[in-house]
Amino acid sequence: MNDSHILWQIVEAGHRITERLESALEPTGLSLAKLNALRYLVEARTPLPLGQLAERIVCVKSNVTQLVDRLENDGLVRRLPDPNDRRSILAAVTDAGRERFRAGATALMRAERELLAEFPEAEQQHIADLLSAIGTASTG
């Protein structure tokens, strides 16, 4: 498992990165998952059906149900009935949600900049290219 080989270096570097970003976000009361959902809602500029939010996040619908539960609990999102389809439920960002999103996005960008600084800039594109290929091949 914790071999020295490159696969685990990648996995662990990924963990360290997300840990750092989560820590940077902590003072804002957001997690990466919440900030990400909020971003889609803010950018949509109109309430989104939960199913569409799930598509954009690229996760299962039941995950969105729970994520929106927590966001609603935080007062950052409200559920609204969809006037055009009574099966559908819309998620709308509240003013508090928009404000929180701005704070989170700022904190995240600052943390990203810090982490990025630990990386030789000349190498970044090269490594990104190599990484984008890995694990992408079909398994059969």
CA distance 118 to 94: 36
CA distance 113 to 18: 14
CB 113 to DNA: min, Å: 22
Q: Which of 22, 32, 74, 79 binds a second copy (CB under 8 A)?
A: 32
Residue 23 CA to chain centroid, in angstroms?
A: 14
Region binding a second copy by CB under 8 A among candidate stretches 6-14, 44-52, 70-78, 88-96: 6-14
CB 58 to a second copy: min, Å: 9
Q: Which of 10, 20, 39, 52 binds DNA (CB under 7 A)?
A: 52
CB 111 to a second copy: min, Å: 9
Going 67 to 68 to 69 to 73, the CA torsion angle's sign is: positive
